């Protein structure tokens, strides 16, 4: 084949047996990370646990950092910044990788509990972009925290192990589905009807009221010491129950909840653990709230990032200089070409499974609206770095022009005057309860982040 022609390559055609073994070992570690964290809080807790095992310590304000120091800053337990201090001053720029650890899910309403038809239910308000029909007749687990008025914060986790119960939203039987079938996909299931079944045992006698609610409250009080009013100050969420699993006879794919964006979050974290003292300070961001617009104190529009860098650099006055010379890999998933829905993709610019990390020069929708759009020079830099470091990668675009679109934290980083590009793992069934990612693509994303951290 002529070198003049650009062609995407399947990693299986080039990978050595040794590297394939490393990729498979990496996938096993990644699955453990997925199973340990199904909410942003759980993922942050797990990331801190892993980081501390590798010598990271919480950054204490006022401490002067020196090359080789490994520090982290938790943003109220919901987002995390980690840093390995480089040899150069921070004003010479940072190499940043930013992923998010929140995923689409069903949050409980603040007054969630009710009863009807001899059953107790939780009402929900979905979080992020979901296709609602995918969440019915699906085993669900309850995760989250209840913050009591006395300051105590109680973690909740029910439905993950085989001896625990699961929860579920019911669907209509097809025999009575005539009217439902006439509705559009978006209309057939409404957000206000995603009610989770909690139980069907009454407490008390026939004349008592609220008998089914009371049973639920009795259980929760016994197990967690909470009362119904405590829901007002809770963050409880229903997520798909069960562990990440290998998919396919060849076990080449992982089916899991939350590949978006834990596949990139873990790649960033793992790579940060594997670097020696870099030239430029390496920063790993595990952000919250990406799925709902990156707002809030734990989202990437928050000034918490400036504060963290100012602390490390010795003052807010150094932050703008540091950012001007920094680079950010906005590590977020992209869509993999799906032959079942080929019509939404334009094959020349689509990412394919097992073809490596997907680099997105721009995201946005309808004429690149809302995209930070990395410069040609930035893409050239990625080409050079990844070629030098044996990173399999591919250029990717989120579907055909005018087909839809989406965004990441990229523009919020770029708006800080940080050179930024989107890159991540190609995903099948993105935002579905069970998303699919190939082990090789996950591993190559780790290698890609490693190359960024090591860039001089």
Phi, psi of 399 (to 5 degrees): 80, 175
Entry field: residues in the chain:
456
Smallest separation, CB 450 to Mn ion (Å): 20
SS3 content of the chain, % helix, strand, coil (to 5): 35, 25, 40
Smallest separation, CB 264 to Mn ion (Å): 8
Q: What is the largest CA-CA distance in the chain?
A: 83
Q: Which stretch binds Mn ion (CB under 5 A): 131-139, 327-335, 380-388, 441-449?
A: 327-335
Among residues 79, 162, 143, which one has the least CA distance to residue 105? Answer: 143
Tally of CB atoms within 10 A around 237: 25
Nearer to Mn ion, 261 or 288 (CB): 261
Q: Which stretch binds Mn ion (CB under 5 A): 72-80, 142-150, 329-337, 377-385?
A: 329-337
Give dist(CA 396, CA 363) in Å, integer: 10
Give dist(CA 353, CA 425) in Å, integer: 9
Among residues 169, 210, 217, 204, which one has the least CA distance to residue 190? Answer: 169
Smallest separation, CB 374 to Mn ion (Å): 17
Rg (CA), the chain: 23
Nearer to Mn ion, 105 or 270 (CB): 105
CA dist 50 → 28, 43, 270, 278 (Å):
15, 10, 9, 20
Phi, psi of 309 (to 5 degrees): -70, -35
Among 40, 261, 422, 455, binds Mn ion (CB under 5 A): 261
Smallest separation, CB 406 to Mn ion (Å): 7
Nearer to Mn ion, 46 or 260 (CB): 260
Q: Which stretch binds Mn ion (CB under 5 A): 86-94, 234-242, 257-265, 351-359?
A: 257-265
248 in Cβ contact with 62 (< 8 Å): no
Nearer to Mn ion, 261 or 311 (CB): 261
272 in Cβ contact with 82 (< 8 Å): yes
Smallest separation, CB 50 to Mn ion (Å): 21
Site string for Mn ion, 437-456 (x = CB under 5 A): --------------------
Smallest separation, CB 337 to Mn ion (Å): 18
Give dist(CA 454, CA 456) in Å, integer: 6
Q: How far is CA 196 from the centre of its chain?
A: 24
Pairing of strands 105-116, 119-127: antiparallel
Smallest separation, CB 224 to Mn ion (Å): 30
Query: Is 150 buried (19+), middle (13-18) or exposed (0-12) by CB count in 10 A?
Result: exposed
Q: Which stretch binds Mn ion (CB under 5 A): 117-125, 261-269, 360-368, 389-397?
A: 261-269
Nearer to Mn ion, 122 or 412 (CB): 412
Among 268, 332, 435, 455, binds Mn ion (CB under 5 A): 332
Give dist(CA 134, CA 151) in Å, integer: 36
Nearer to Mn ion, 345 or 363 (CB): 363
- Distance linking the first and last C-alpha atoms of the chain: 34
Smallest separation, CB 99 to Mn ion (Å): 8
Q: Which stretch binds Mn ion (CB under 5 A): 78-86, 175-183, 189-197, 324-332?
A: 324-332
- Give the binding-site size for Mn ion (rule: CB under 5 A): 3
Smallest separation, CB 265 to Mn ion (Å): 10
Nearer to Mn ion, 42 or 291 (CB): 291
* Residues 192-221 contacting Mn ion, CB under 5 A: none
Interface with Mn ion includes 40 (CB under 5 A)? no
Quick one: three-class SS letters along 24-57?
HHHHHHHHHHHHHCCCHHHHHHHHHHHHHHCCCE
Nearer to Mn ion, 104 or 356 (CB): 104
Nearer to Mn ion, 300 or 391 (CB): 300
Interface with Mn ion includes 435 (CB under 5 A)? no
Interface with Mn ion includes 260 (CB under 5 A)? yes
Nearer to Mn ion, 158 or 442 (CB): 442
Smallest separation, CB 107 to Mn ion (Å): 16
Nearer to Mn ion, 220 or 351 (CB): 351
372 in Cβ contact with 432 (< 8 Å): no
Binding site for Mn ion (CB under 5 A): 260-261, 332
């Amino acid at each position: 084949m002529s070198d003049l022609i650009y062609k995407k390559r399947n990693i299986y055609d080039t990978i050595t047996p040794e590297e394939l073994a490393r990729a498979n070992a990496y996938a096993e570690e990644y699955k453990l990370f997925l199973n340990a964290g199904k909410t942003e809080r759980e993922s942050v807790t797990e990331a801190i646990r892993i980081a501390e095992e590798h010598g990271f310590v919480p950054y204490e304000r006022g401490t002067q950092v020196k090359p080789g120091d490994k520090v982290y800053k938790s943003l109220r337990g919901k987002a995390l910044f980690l840093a390995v201090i480089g040899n150069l001053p921070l004003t010479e720029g940072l190499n940043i990788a930013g992923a998010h650890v929140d995923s689409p899910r069903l949050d409980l309403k603040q007054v969630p509990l009710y009863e009807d038809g001899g059953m107790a239910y939780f009402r929900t308000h979905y979080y992020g972009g979901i296709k609602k029909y995918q969440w019915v007749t699906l085993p669900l687990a309850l995760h989250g925290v209840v913050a009591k008025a006395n300051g105590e914060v109680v973690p909740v986790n029910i439905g993950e192990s085989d001896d625990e119960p699961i929860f579920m939203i019911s669907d209509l039987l097809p025999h009575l589905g005539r009217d439902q079938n006439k509705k559009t996909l978006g209309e057939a299931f409404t957000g206000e009807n995603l009610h989770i079944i909690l139980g069907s045992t009454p407490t008390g006698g026939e004349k008592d009221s609220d008998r089914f609610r009371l049973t639920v409250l009795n259980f929760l009080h016994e197990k967690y010491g909470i009362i119904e009013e405590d829901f007002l100050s809770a963050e409880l969420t229903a997520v798909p129950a069960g562990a990440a699993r290998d998919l396919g006879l060849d076990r080449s794919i992982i089916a899991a909840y939350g590949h978006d964006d834990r596949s990139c979050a873990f790649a960033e974290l793992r790579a940060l653990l594997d670097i020696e003292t870099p030239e430029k300070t390496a920063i790993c961001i595990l952000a919250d709230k990406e799925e709902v617009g990156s707002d809030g104190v734990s989202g990437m529009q928050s000034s918490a990032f400036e504060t963290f860098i100012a602390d490390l650099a010795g003052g807010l006055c150094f932050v703008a200089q540091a950012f001007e010379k920094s680079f950010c890999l906005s590590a977020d998933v992209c869509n993999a070409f799906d032959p079942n829905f080929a019509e939404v993709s334009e094959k020349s610019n689509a990412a394919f499974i097992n073809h490596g990390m997907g680099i997105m020069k721009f995201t946005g929708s309808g004429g690149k609206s809302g995209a930070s759009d990395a410069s040609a020079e930035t893409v050239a830099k990625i080409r050079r770095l990844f070629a030098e470091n044996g990173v399999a990668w591919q250029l990717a675009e989120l579907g055909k022009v005018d087909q839809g679109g989406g965004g990441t934290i990229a523009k919020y980083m770029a708006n800080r005057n940080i050179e930024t590009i989107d890159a991540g793992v190609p995903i099948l069934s993105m935002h579905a309860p069970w998303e699919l990612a190939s082990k090789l693509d996950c591993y190559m994303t780790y290698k890609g982040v490693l190359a960024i951290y090591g860039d001089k």
